[in-house]
């Protein structure tokens, strides 16, 4: 048996679909130039969200007053530098040791981190501590 004859319409549809799939538009064969693509902007919202604490943005850190620390350390340094024996140096040494131990313990407390950082970064306190250590080494313990 012979297959049924194909109609002219079916051939036009097949040719049209094939031409569209291959990109043949029936014009000169040239495609229009691609539209310019703007560079992608980085998405910073994820980074901002990750850096923002759950309660909202952090309040500005308070100014830390180290006047009392400087005054006490200056007093202890002057006292120990004036001493020649261990009996004289016992009191300022004890007070300085207590202050140092409290400072070390506060390193692990999150609320006290700004204070500890300020004390360790302060140039005046650093100089006084070095002077205190130099004077205490001169004493015969």
CA 100 – CA 108 distance, rounded (Å): 14
Say if CB 85 and CB 140 are below 8 A apart: yes
Distances (CA, A) of 78 to 81, 87, 134: 5, 15, 12
pLDDT in tens, the chain (141 residues): 666 666 555 555 555 555 555 555 555 667 777 777 777 666 656 555 555 556 655 555 567 889 999 999 999 999 999 999 989 999 999 999 999 999 888 888 888 888 888 998 999 999 999 999 999 999 887
Domain boundaries, the chain: 67-138
CA 100 – CA 64 distance, rounded (Å): 18
Kindly report whether the global pTM for this prediction surpasses the value 0.85. Answer: no
- Residue 25: predicted pLDDT: 52
């Amino acid at each position: 048996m012979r297959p049924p004859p194909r109609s002219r319409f079916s051939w036009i549809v097949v040719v049209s679909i094939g031409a569209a799939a291959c990109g043949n538009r029936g014009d000169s064969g040239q495609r229009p130039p691609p539209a310019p693509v703007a560079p992608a902007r980085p998405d910073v919202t994820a980074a901002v969200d990750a850096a923002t604490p759950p309660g909202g943005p952090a309040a500005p850190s308070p100014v830390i007053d180290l006047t009392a620390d400087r005054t006490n350390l200056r007093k202890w340094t002057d006292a120990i530098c004036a001493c020649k024996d261990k009996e004289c140096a016992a009191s300022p040494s004890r007070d300085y040791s207590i202050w140092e131990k409290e400072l070390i313990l506060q390193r692990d407390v999150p609320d006290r981190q700004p204070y500890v950082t300020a004390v360790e970064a302060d140039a005046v306190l650093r100089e006084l501590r070095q002077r205190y250590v130099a004077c205490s080494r001169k004493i015969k313990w």
